[in-house]
Structure formats: structure tokens, C-alpha cells
DNA sequence: TGAAACGAATCACGCCCTGC
DNA sequence: GCAGGGCGTGATTCGTTTCA
């Protein structure tokens, strides 16, 4: 703790600190004073500045190391006002680089702020402004690379828009999801990005009632109007199935996720579309459901290996489950793709160097940036700033050929 | 139970000083 | 004398917690 305080002191006292305590960089940088960044950076230690105030408080960067009452030790605008003999209003405006404050005064105020170890109080600022510059990202399963990848991307894009994000994992559990929503509302986030569990719509209606901007990520409710950004799941299911059909497969297994999840429903519809287009009868024995959470595919793999499911190819709900089935089949002596081709969804492993490359359906556009962009527009609209908003966005998909699928020997 | 306090920002004025 | 820049003043606001 002391080390961190010392590092902060170095950054606040050395010339490396920007002249402007609130670095001017449009919305994004204005939302994060440079002092906040200082505490994150690595640096050498340096002696601290201890400053007595008129109120008899000792202030300086050592304050954070003692485990005392931090609230009483924080340097405030009032302290700087007392020290400089200026008003609180002038201090505030000088630190925010307002035009009606002279450069001489600004420099003086910044110097005293640095000397005293002033750190912008985002909590107080949020209180006054009615915004926290934070976005909650609520997902069902962060262990799924699809979500972890996109959450990382969301964080990056949101940061570029001046927002801090925090992520909550719901384990696809409805009660945990409600708790996550309530927690986010209590923290007065400016907006929420949520991949809903979709057990029911109640949680999202609750969110809607609270009038907080939100965007559904990767999932949607057909019969209720809520902003969403999804991939074209139906077309994805169609492309995956068509790929196998055109490689000679006729007995194609559909391994779908829980059908209360819109993406699972729509991918299955796409599967059926392709079968219908090529005149292949829909066989209920070749449609199997699995949990959205990986680790429950043994039954399916055993059934394929044991001939209980007579298929030569499989369209699988997502890449994680597809890879799991591939692995299980290999252990059971079933060769992929020679004995059974597999097509996954999300094309997530194309981003990593893995021993095996799945054939998979992936998005052609950027899901994260589209989602953040929509949410930011909704937030701005709520604040009264006019903004054109497309609230239902379906991103195109394409099939990416990997090693897990191939032409059926002897197939047409 | 209700008032006060917390910290920062905002607003509407108003004053002072300087230059023309 | 006037205009305008620079800054001050005091009230108000926000949501939560503390205290009487």
C-alpha cells in the first residue's frame, strides 16, 4: 500500500505530470483525470509532500498507506481554495481548464493541486453530474471464449468512448442475473450491455422499467422491442448445414443449445432451412440439445461413437461445445473429419493458435464496437442529445473452413 | 424520523480592473 | 464612460449516511 502511495506521489510531483489535471482529450480523457491514471502506473519512489491545511488536517500521498479514515484525509477543492486564497468555483474551473480562468491562475492552481496531492473525486463528481461514466457488462458464462473475447473488446471500445466497464458473470442463472442487474442499477451505471440468460423476460422488463439504457448482446427477444446486436444466427445455421450437405453429408446432427436462448433457436431454424432447401427429411433423432455451459457433451459423443446417432456430420451450437465433442470423439476412436465432420459457431478459435482449427461460422463485422456504439447513442439520447439510433442490428456471418469438416468419402 | 453533512459542479449575478 | 475579461459569491443540486 505504501509503495502504491509512493508511486502516486512520484507521478503527482514530477514534471512528467501534464499541466492540466483534467487532461483535455474530448469526452474520453475529460472523464478520467490524469491523477487517476497516475495511481495505476509503475514508477520509482520519491519523498512525499505533507501539507497541513487550515482545517488542521494533514494531507499528502502518505494518507493512503495508514489505513486511517481516507475520507477525512482526501485533498478537496476546498483545501486548494484555502491554500490559494481563491474560491472553490475558481479552483474547479481552473482544474477543468475553463476559458474564463486566466492561464496564470490555472498554472498556479495546478501547481498547488499537484503539491497537495489532489485527486479528483469521481464519486462526488458523479453525484453532481448524475452520471458515473461506467458501463456494466453482464454475461452468462465468461469462461466461454466467445464472451471473454467480446467482453475484452467491449472494454476497449467503451474506454475509447470515455467509459469504465465492469463485468458480472451470471453463470446463465436467472437469479444471479437479476442480482447483477440490481447491483448495476444501484451503482448508477450509465448503461448496461447484457447477454441475457433468457430463462424468462422478467429480468429485462425490470431493467426496462428502470429506464436505464441497455443493449442485448448476441441474443434477443422476438416478441418484445428491446435494443440488440446479434449475429445472423439463422443464416449461420443455414450456412453450416449447407456446407456439410454440399460436401456429401445427408445424416447431419444438430447439437443445439437450450431453445429458450434465441441464438440456439435461430441456428436450429437455419439448419432446418438448409435441409428443406436440399430436400432432406428432418429427422428428430438427429436433433439433440445440450446445456449452454460446456462439460455436458459426453452423452452426445458416446451416442455418435456407439452408432446410436447415425450421423456423418454435426452442426454444433458453439465452438466450445464443438471442440469438446471433437475431443471426446477422438478419445472414443472416431476420426474427425473422416468419420464425422463438425461445424461450430462463433469462429472464436481462429483468433488463437490452437492445435486444431474448427470449421466454424463467424461474424463478419465487429460485435463489440457495434454494441458499444448503440449503447453510447442510447445514453446520449437519454441525456437529451439528439442521436439517430438503429436499435436492432443483425450482423452478417460467414463460414470459415477449418480442419474439422471435409467431403464425405463416396458422397455426391 | 427528519435534518444535516458530505464534495463537486452549476448558475446567475456582481464586482473589480484594465484598456480604449 | 464603456466594454469585456477575470474572478468571487452564495444558493442549489445530487444520493447516502450519520446523528440528534
Per-residue pLDDT tens for A219-264?
999 888 999 999 999 999 999 999 999 999 999 999 999 999 999 9
Cβ-contact A373, A387 below 8 angstroms: no
Q: What average pLDDT does the segment A20-27 reach?
A: 32
Per-residue pLDDT, A254: 98
DSSP H helices in A232-318: 233-246, 262-277, 298-305
Q: Mark A317-349 as b/e (b = at least 16 C-beta within 10 Å).
A: bbbbbbbbbbebbeeeebebbeebbbbbbbbbb
- The pairing of strands A359-363 and A397-400 is antiparallel
CA of A98 to C1' of C3 (A): 21
State pLDDT tens for residues A183-196: 788 777 888 999 99
Sorting pLDDT into bands at 50, 70 and 90, what band is A99? Answer: low
pLDDT value, residue A385: 64
pLDDT at residue A374 greater than cutoff 90: yes
Assign A137 to helix, strand or coil.
strand
| Distance from CA(A100) to C1'(C1), angstroms, rounded | 25
pLDDT digits (tens, 9 = 90+) for A26-54: 333 333 332 322 332 222 222 223 333 33
Is 80 exceeded by the pLDDT of residue A388? Answer: no
pLDDT at A4 over 50: no
Which segment of A17-31, A105-119, A179-193, A274-288 scores lowest on mean pLDDT?
A: A17-31
Any idea which nucleotide's C1' is nearest the CA of A79?
A: B7
Report the alpha-carbon distance of residue A103 to residue A191 in Å, rounded.
37
What digits encode the pLDDT tens for the residues A309-335? Answer: 999 999 999 999 999 999 999 999 999
Please report which confidence band the pLDDT of residue A127 belongs to, taking 50, 70 and 90 as the band edges.
low
Mean pLDDT for A70-82 is 64
- Same-fold call for A133-229+365-394 versus A233-364: yes
Decide if pLDDT at A158 tops 60.
yes
**CA distances for A374 relative to A206, A213, A216, A305, A363, angstroms:** 20, 10, 10, 45, 17
Above 70 in pLDDT, residue A276? yes
- Residue A89 Cβ under 7 A from any strand C atom: yes
Q: Is the pLDDT of residue A125 over 80?
A: no
CA neighbor of A163 nearest in space, from A202, A213, A103, A236:
A213
CA of A71 to C1' of C18 (A): 14
Which of residues A56 and A292 earns the better pLDDT score? A292
Q: Is the CB of A69 under 7 A from strand C?
A: no
Distance CA A93, CA A106 (A): 9
Q: Residue A104 CB: number of other CB atoms within 10 A?
A: 8
Q: What is the mean pLDDT of residues A270-298?
A: 92
Task: Give 3-state DSSP helix, strand, coil % of chain A, rounded to 5.
Answer: 45, 15, 40
Distance A122 CA to B6 C1' (A): 14
- Nucleic strand C within 7 A of Cβ A211: no
A315 φ, ψ to 5°? -105, 120
In chain A, the percentage of residues whose pLDDT exceeds 70 is 77
Task: Determine contact, residues A230/A220, Cβ cutoff 8 Å.
Answer: yes
pLDDT exceeds 90 at position A152: yes
Model pLDDT, residue A313: 97
C-alpha count within 13 angstroms, C-beta hemisphere, residue A352: 13
- Give CA–CA dist A194/A216, Å, rounded: 5
pLDDT category, A123, cuts 50, 70, 90?
low
Report CA(A128)–C1'(C15) in Å, whole number.
10
pLDDT band at A163 (very low <50, low <70, confident <90, very high): confident
Q: What is the Cα–Cα distance from A231 to A264, expressed in whole angstroms?
A: 12
Q: Which residue has the higher pLDDT, A103 or A305?
A: A305
Three cell numbers at A404? 474439422
pLDDT computed for residue A128 by the predictor: 66
Where are chain A's structural domains?
Answer: 2-128, 133-229+365-394, 233-364
Across A290-328, the runs of DSSP E, i.e. the strands, are 313-316
* Least reliable range by pLDDT among A37-41, A166-170, A208-212: A37-41
Q: Of chain A residues 19-48, which have a beta carbon within 7 Å of strand C?
A: none
Second-level CATH architecture of A233-364: 3-Layer(aba) Sandwich (3.40)
pLDDT at A116: 75
* A368: pLDDT strictly greater than 90: yes
Supply the CATH classification number for the domain A133-229+365-394. Answer: 3.40.50.2300
CA atoms within 13 A on the CB side of A208: 10
Amino acid at each position: 500500500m505504501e509503495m502504491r502511495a509512493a508511486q502516486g506521489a512520484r507521478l503527482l510531483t514530477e514534471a512528467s505530470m501534464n499541466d492540466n489535471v483534467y487532461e483535455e482529450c474530448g469526452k474520453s480523457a475529460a472523464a478520467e483525470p490524469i491523477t487517476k491514471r497516475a495511481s495505476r502506473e509503475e514508477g520509482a519512489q520519491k519523498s512525499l509532500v505533507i501539507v497541513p491545511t487550515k482545517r488542521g488536517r494533514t494531507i499528502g500521498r502518505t494518507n493512503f498507506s495508514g489505513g486511517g479514515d481516507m475520507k477525512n484525509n482526501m485533498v478537496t477543492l476546498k483545501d486548494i481554495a484555502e491554500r490559494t486564497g481563491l474560491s472553490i468555483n475558481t479552483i474547479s474551473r481552473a482544474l477543468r481548464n475553463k476559458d474564463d480562468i486566466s492561464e496564470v491562475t490555472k498554472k498556479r492552481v495546478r501547481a498547488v493541486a499537484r503539491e497537495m496531492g489532489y485527486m479528483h473525486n469521481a464519486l462526488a463528481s458523479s453525484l453532481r453530474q448524475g452520471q458515473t461514466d461506467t458501463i456494466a457488462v453482464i454475461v452468462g458464462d465468461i469462461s466461454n471464449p466467445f464472451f471473454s473475447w467480446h467482453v475484452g473488446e467491449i472494454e476497449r471500445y467503451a474506454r475509447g468512448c470515455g467509459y469504465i466497464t465492469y463485468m458480472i458473470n451470471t453463470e446463465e442463472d436467472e437469479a444471479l442475473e437479476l442480482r447483477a442487474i440490481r447491483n448495476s442499477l444501484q451503482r448508477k451505471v450509465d448503461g448496461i450491455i447484457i447477454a441475457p440468460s433468457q430463462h424468462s423476460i422478467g429480468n429485462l422488463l425490470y431493467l426496462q422499467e428502470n429506464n436505464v439504457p441497455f443493449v442485448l448482446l448476441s441474443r434477443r427477444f422476438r416478441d418484445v422491442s428491446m435494443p440488440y446486436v446479434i449475429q445472423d444466427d439463422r443464416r449461420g445455421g443455414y450456412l453450416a448445414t449447407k456446407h456439410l450437405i454440399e460436401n456429401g453429408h445427408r445424416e447431419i446432427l444438430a447439437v443445439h443449445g437450450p431453445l429458450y436462448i434465441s441464438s440456439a433457436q435461430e441456428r436450429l431454424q437455419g439448419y432446418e432451412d438448409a435441409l428443406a432447401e436440399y430436400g432432406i427429411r428432418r429427422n428428430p433423432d438427429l436433433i439433440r440439445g445440450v446445456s449452454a455451459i460446456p462439460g455436458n457433451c459426453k452423452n452426445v459423443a458416446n451416442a455418435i461413437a456407439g452408432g446410436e446417432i447415425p450421423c456423418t456430420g454435426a452442426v454444433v451450437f458453439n465452438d466450445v461445445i464443438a471442440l469438446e465433442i471433437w475431443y471426446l470423439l477422438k478419445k472414443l476412436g472416431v476420426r474427425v473429419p473422416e468419420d464425422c465432420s463438425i461445424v461450430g459457431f462463433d469462429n472464436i478459435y481462429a483468433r488463437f493458435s490452437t492445435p486444431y482449427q474448427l470449421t466454424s461460422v463467424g461474424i463478419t463485422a465487429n460485435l463489440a464496437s457495434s454494441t458499444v456504439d448503440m449503447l453510447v447513442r442510447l445514453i446520449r439520447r437519454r441525456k437529451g442529445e439528439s442521436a439517430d439510433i438503429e436499435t436492432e442490428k443483425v450482423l452478417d456471418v460467414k463460414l470459415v473452413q477449418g480442419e474439422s469438416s471435409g467431403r464425405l468419402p463416396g458422397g455426391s
